[in-house]
Amino acid sequence: MSTNALIEVDRVSFSYDTGRQILSNLSLTFRRGQVTALLGGSGCGKTTLLRLIGGSASPDAGEVRFDGQRVDAADKPRMYALRRRLGMLFQFGALFTDLTVFDNVAFPLHEHTDLPEALIRDIVLMKLNAVGLRGAAPLRISEVSGGMARRIALARAIALDPELIMYDEPFAGLDLISMGVAAKLIRTLNDVTGATSLVVSHDVPECMAISDHIVLMAAGGRIVAQGSPQELMDSTDPEVRQFVRGEPDGPVKFHYPATPMGQDFGVEAAAP
């Protein structure tokens, strides 16, 4: 293992119970201290890859290694220790709606540490202050906006000062101002804490602005391209250009593969 690699994905294949292949023989390395963006169309396996790294799913073949240790979802004690070292910002926040803002952020500290309540209080307020929401600590989740909820979830994700922070669609549903704030927070938190960040997103401009490395994925977990943001922007590959420029026409088709429409509706194809 490279001493600079925190996460290694080694020839990983994965499919769900439906039999649909999501990842096939995928190999990737995520370097320490970097913000890496995983871009690609819906269903190409980006979120699935985060689940495999976090141990909430197991590969059909190959293995994922965190800091040189194999991620094994069946090894509960090791997984509990591993999750102490990572933070996860879920796509829809996944906040506890019956808890206050303060208690949501305090939850992982209560779950994973034996710190005294006074110290937990100070840590929670510092994390909320980092995302600009220290004043919202006593509020219920029903009293905050969607953008605020995303920042609260981010404060919870960094509560334990994790080595790895994974973000699943952190910009989805945010207005332009909140999106800019969230992007700046991801970059700043990564640099200040020395963490490694993986960002799954469809938002090309924000990811290009904050990432050190970009991985562009396609259906089946295929790696289309990877490199610095500038390298992908300068690429002449048609598939890369279509995605980073948002072009409607190109190698990536809008329609999922299907039988001819007339066959589904019982209409014979018209004669040429």
Asked whether residue 232 is domain-assigned, the answer is yes
Q: Compare 245 and 195 and report the one with higher pLDDT.
A: 195
Other Cβ atoms closer than 10 A to 63: 15
Asked whether residue 117 is domain-assigned, the answer is no
Dump pLDDT digits (tens) for 162-201. Answer: 899 999 888 877 778 778 888 888 898 888 888 899 999 8
Asked whether residue 73 is domain-assigned, the answer is yes
Asked whether residue 57 is domain-assigned, the answer is yes
Dump pLDDT digits (tens) for 2-18. Answer: 568 899 999 999 988 76
Question: In the chain, what is the greatest distance between 2 CA atoms, to the nearest angstrom?
Answer: 79
Asked whether residue 182 is domain-assigned, the answer is yes
Place of tokens 């804490």: 193
Rounded Cα distance between 272 and 262, Å, is: 15
What beta strand segments (E) does the chain contain?
A: 5-15, 21-31, 35-40, 61-66, 69-70, 86-89, 164-168, 196-200, 213-218, 222-227
Give the strand pairing for 196-200 and 35-40.
parallel
Asked whether residue 238 is domain-assigned, the answer is yes
Model confidence band, residue 95 (pLDDT cutoffs 50, 70, 90): confident
Asked whether residue 174 is domain-assigned, the answer is yes
Query: What is the model's pTM?
Result: 0.80
Element (H, E) at 76: helix 76-83
Q: Is the pLDDT of residue 39 over 70?
A: yes
Helices (H) and strands (E) in the chain, counts: 10, 10
Lowest mean pLDDT among 19-33, 52-66, 177-191, 252-266: 252-266
Let me know how long the chain is: 272
Rounded Cα distance between 117 and 139, Å, is: 19
Number of domains making up the chain: 1
Q: Is the pLDDT of residue 218 over 70?
A: yes
Range of the domain at 232: 5-85+162-264
pLDDT at 202: 82
CATH number where 203 lies: 3.40.50.300
Model confidence band, residue 1 (pLDDT cutoffs 50, 70, 90): very low
Dump pLDDT digits (tens) for 124-164. Answer: 999 999 888 899 999 998 888 877 888 888 888 888 888 99
